[in-house]
Amino acid sequence: MKIKKNLEPIVSGISAAIVISILAFLTLRTSAGVLLMFSFGATVFLVFVLYNLETAQPKNVFFGHLVSVLVGIIFNEIIGFSFFSLGLSVGVAVTLMVYFKVMHPPAASNPLVVLFSDVSIDFILFPVITGTILIILMSIFINKIILKRKYPTKRFWLS
């Protein structure tokens, strides 16, 4: 069923709400661990509203978050929290996402989250890897199966 143009904002909002609610439920009500972080709010906007953009594709969602959180953790471990590390870590994360062609704008905030929260290497698995995989799988299911949208736009996600 193809959704009507005037209903797309509502369907996209409901889809985003469902995904974030599931991540929040798993974070708050189960022993699954932390699966939710602030930048995922902007990520679900991209995958449900701007789903045809390169920045919303699974490769960019996964590796954009992974690269930027790694940068944040490295800066947190080496430099620690300061005005210098906050700015430089975001700049390095943006540079690496562009260089590796995994641009995902919401992920640019991840170094800030890492430095302000003083998280450790465990943060890579929970919430980053687990959360992004869940977002990707759910966005494929909702976009492709339920909403009949072409998502992901490329046949091979890693290309």
Instruction: Label each residue of 89-148 as H, E or C.
Output: HHHHHHHHHHHCCCCCHHHHHHHHHHHHHCCCHHHHHHHHHHHHHHHHHHHHHHHHHHCC
pLDDT at 159: 62
Task: Show the domain range for 9.
Answer: 5-146
Tokens of 127: 């919430």
41 lies in some domain:
yes
Give pLDDT, residue 157: 63
User: Can you say how many angstroms the Cα of residue 138 is from the centroid of all Cα atoms in its chain?
Assistant: 12
For the chain, list residues with pLDDT below 70: 1, 156-159
Q: Is residue 153 part of a domain?
A: no
For residue 76, being part of any structural domain is answered with: yes
**pTM exceeds cut of 0.75:** yes
Number of domains, the chain: 1
Residue 156 lies in a domain: no
Whether 13 maps to a domain, the answer reads yes
Q: What is the pLDDT of residues 76-120, one digit of tens each?
A: 999 999 999 999 999 999 999 999 999 999 999 999 999 999 998
Please check whether residue 96 lies inside any domain of the structure: yes
Name which of 83, 135, 140 is nearest 107 in CA terms. 135
Per-residue confidence (pLDDT) for residue 154, from 0 to 100: 82
Contact 45, 112 (CB under 8 A): no
Distance CA 89, CA 50 (A): 26
